[in-house]
Structure 1
Amino acid sequence: MRILKYLFLLLFLFLIGMSVFVSTQKGDYDVTRSKVIKNPRITVFNYINDYRNWETFCSWIKNDSSYQFTYPELSMGQGASCSWTSDSSDGNLKTILVKQNESISQKMVSNEETSEMFWTFKDTIGGTKVTWRSKGKLDFKSKVAAFFHGGISSVVGDTYEKSLENLNKTLDYEINTYSIKVNGIVNRPGGFYLKQFLHCKEKDVDRNIKILVSRMEHFFDKNKLNSTGKPFIIYHKYDRANDDIGFSVCMPVRDSINIMPGSDIESGKTASYTSLKTTLIGDYSHTQTAWKKALAYISKNHLERNKSGQIIEVYAVGRNDVKNPSKWVTEIYIPVYPKEDAKLVVDKPIDSLVVATPPTETVAPKK
């Protein structure tokens, strides 16, 4: 009995000593990890700059299925944010400052602990050197947890290393794996839609489309509007010589909708028209490759483009449907005049469309 009392006393003294030791340790931390990602800097930067992509590479998210994310209208660029809940933490992230293709500064709050995160991107042999730095201060509970796991530098450092490795694998496969199929001549039905128009430079097209699609979806949710299909893009102007691209991000609706004057949202309607349909399965960054393949098909088969029509891209399967970019589906419609002996097919969803002449190109990362 006396021995048991001594053991309890020793345990009590140990806990007091450990508490005193831990409480006197510095709560400040500054952890940095780097890795060369085998992709161009613009690709890596754009991927990390969008919070909707973080679920595909952050190790603490991939290892915990209880994470539930909420994304506002703006999920990429300066001012972007996201929030989450899980069995282990609640928190949010916000982008404070962005230098395009160079650096990102963020603020994170997790379980009421605030930290700063910094990303830098530099060209190097074999790809892009990504450096991920985190600064913050731990409360007593977090210092105790870190103490039993080798220290905060070890805990955060290991997490960042695993996440950067996931990022490298994700980009290598998900971004660089795609297929292109020229489906053939179809009759694309017309209909009503709401749109938001924008002019920008060619290098900013992909980024601005993502931003405007999110805004349009937010507009529909806020105003309790129902869309009758997937988002699509109408290209009004593609002037490479003057680097001037004009396009509208659209959402289809059943009937015409009156919009209040002064809004940047407008209503519109397309008529049915004959077009060459081409399907891209993969990340949006390969749309220009799909365009080139479609235009080559038009030339090879002596089709005549209908210049009065506009090229349309439909996001049949997008990032709200599946997180993996390699599984996204974009349908591209280029207006053409039908040949007299051509048999038109009314356009249908991709999984039910059967047409002739289906040359397909598939590209995957080299091992």
Structure 2
Amino acid sequence: MKFTKYILFLLLIAFIGSSIYIAVQPNEISFSKTKIIAAPQEVAYTYINDLRHWTNWVPWKKTSTTDTNSNSKEYTWLQDNSIGRISTKQSSKPSHIQQDLVFHDYPKSELEWKIDSVSPKTSRVTLSMSSKNITFKKKAYYAIFGTPETDLAPKFETSLVALDSAIVKSMKVYSITINGVTNHSGGYYLYNTTTTSIDNYKSKVQQMMSDITDYIKENQIPMAGFPYVLYHDWNPENNTVSFSCCIPTTTQVISTNDKILTGLLPAFKTLKTTLKGDYNYLDKAWDAAFKHISANDLTRAKSNIMLESFITNPKYKVNPANWVTEIYIALADQDSTEQGYANLKLPSNNP
């Protein structure tokens, strides 16, 4: 009898001690994980803020093929016969997102995203989770089986790595469309021109386009369209390319800068091709255009006019997947293309 009382007394002491231990545990849980993402701040923010992308990288995967997750502000999933839900309650572009997390294994929690710019091409992404007013029952559960951090911290780390890969992959998406035969209206333009190595010409285009854009702005000259590069000669054997960076104008403009000239592009019949995606895929777009010309027995004009028109300004659309470039290759047409550019030689291979 005494032994039984002794055992019960010990159990009571253990129960009281455990209760005190559980009661004094923090009423809040919070932790965070950080990852450097190989994407500009705005791109990272936009991708994370659209929850339709989340199935590509979160640890909670949808089990229903009928759920298309069309809501960009809410992500739901089914796990162990319980529904989980993450919903965005506030976002501040391009650096901050607040969300609610509801799932049976965890207390109602808040997720917070901070996206900081590290460089023009990288960002620091921090994902934090916090839970407040933890009940005694939940504290007891966590004391035995571990807090949500024990389960979620490794998942957060893995998910941020997957997020990095998913964002980088999304930036590499591109499409090439052969729009078909059409007419280019031509018109006056201001331009600067050079010959440089093929290896160096892309950086040269950026520099020259910036120079002529600055001249247009400083002199308040009205633009009549999108800037473009007009190719004059492409010589892989000598590793050289000659081209002009052009900005169309509404009328003929007499330049006051001896490095910036005025030109007139005649109207011409053309094959139009559109690239949506990074400029790194321009070679593929030119390939597709040349193959279309060959496959459809189209005849290129003697003028050999070939140009790239930049519809999107990367300064305002930082995701390369959203950049739009139009390629025009002049086709034979007696009424328009046989004048003014008879001696113009442009690349017969990919620019």
TM-score scaled to structure 2, two decimals? 0.50
Larger Rg: 2
What is the deviation of 1:249?
1.1
Counterpart in the other structure of 2:177: 181
Q: 1:310 pairs with 305, 310, 331, which one? A: 305
Specify the alignment match of 2:286 in structure 1.
291
Distance 1:173 1:200, change over 3 A: farther
Task: Kindly indicate whether the alpha-carbon contact (under 8 Å) linking 1:57 and 1:166 is maintained by their aligned counterparts in 2.
Answer: no
CA deviations over 1:313-343 (Å, ceiling 9, x no partner): 1112231442221111111001111599xxx
Query: Matches of residues 181-330 of structure 1 in structure 2 within 5 Å?
Result: 181-260=177-256, 262=258, 264-330=259-325
Number of the residue aligned with 1:171: 168
Name the CA shift for 1:272/1:167 in 2 (closer, same or farther; >3 Å). farther
Q: Which moved more, 1:246-255 or 1:303-312?
A: 303-312
Contact 1:57 1:164 in 2 (8 A): no
Residues 250 and 65 of structure 1, relative CA distance in 2, 3 Å threshold: same
Would the aligned equivalents of 1:190 and 1:269 in 2 still touch at CA under 8 Å?
yes
- The residue type equivalent to 1:56 in the other structure is V
| Equivalent-residue separation in structure 2 for 1:250 and 1:215 (angstroms) | 11
Paired with 2:272 and 2:199, the residues of 1 have a C-alpha distance of 25
Per the TM alignment, residue 220 of structure 1 is displaced from its structure 2 partner at its CA by 1.8
1:337 is aligned to 332
Aligned partner of residue 197 in structure 1, secondary structure: strand
- 1:185 touches 1:277 (CA, 8 Å); kept in 2? yes
One-letter code aligned to 1:325? P
TM-superposed CA distance for 1:303, in Å, is: 1.2
Cα separation, 2, equivalents of 1:252 and 1:227: 6
Q: CA deviation at 1:172?
A: 2.4
CA–CA distance in structure 1, aligned partners of residues 211 and 164 of structure 2: 27
Decide whether the 8 Å contact of 1:303 with 1:338 is kept in 2.
no
Change (3 A) 1:260 1:171: same
Give runs of ≥4 in structure 1 deviating > 6 Å: 92-95, 162-167
Q: Is the 8 Å Cα contact of residues 41 and 94 (structure 2) preserved in structure 1?
A: no
Give the corresponding residue for 2:93. Answer: 65
- Structure number with the bigger relative contact order (C-alpha 8 A, sep ≥ 6) is 1
Identity value in percent: 26
Equivalent residues of 2:271, 2:329 under 8 A apart? yes
Change (3 A) 1:206 1:54: farther
Tell me the SS of whatever aligns to 2:231.
Answer: strand
Q: Deviations over 1:195-229 (max 9, x none)?
A: 12122222323322223223322222222222111
| Secondary structure of residue in 2 paired with 1:337 | coil
Aligned AA (2:321): S
CA distance in 1, matches of 2:257, 2:215: 16
Choose the corresponding residue for 1:56, options 26, 33, 43. Answer: 43
Q: Deviations over 1:147-197 (max 9, x none)?
A: xxxxxxxxxxxxxxx99987654432213x111111111111110111121
Distance 2:161 2:234 in 1: 36
Q: How do 1:340-355 residues align onto structure 2 when only pairs under 5 Å count?
A: none
**Aligned equivalents of 2:290 and 2:261: distance in 1?**
30
Secondary structure of the 2:289 match is: helix
* Unaligned stretches of 5+ residues in structure 1: 1-32, 38-47, 68-91, 96-118, 120-131, 133-161, 341-367
Q: Secondary structure at the match of 2:169?
A: helix
> What code does the residue aligned with 1:181 have?
T
Cα separation, 2, equivalents of 1:181 and 1:259: 36
Instruction: Measure the CA separation in 2 of the matches of 1:219 and 1:65.
Output: 32
Alpha-carbon distance between aligned partners in 2 of 1:306 and 1:253, rounded to the nearest angstrom: 25
Count residues with an aligned counterpart.
Answer: 209
Contact preservation (8 Å) 1:58, 1:166: no
* Aligned residues of 1:58 and 1:163 also touching (Cα < 8 A): no
Distance (whole Å) between structure 1 residues aligned to residue 308 and residue 288 of structure 2: 15
| Secondary structure in 1 matching 2:283 | helix
Amino acid at match of 2:43: T
- Pair 205,223 (structure 1): closer, same or farther in 2 beyond 3 Å: same
Q: Take 1:94 and 1:289, find their aligned partners in 2: how far apart are those partners?
A: 29
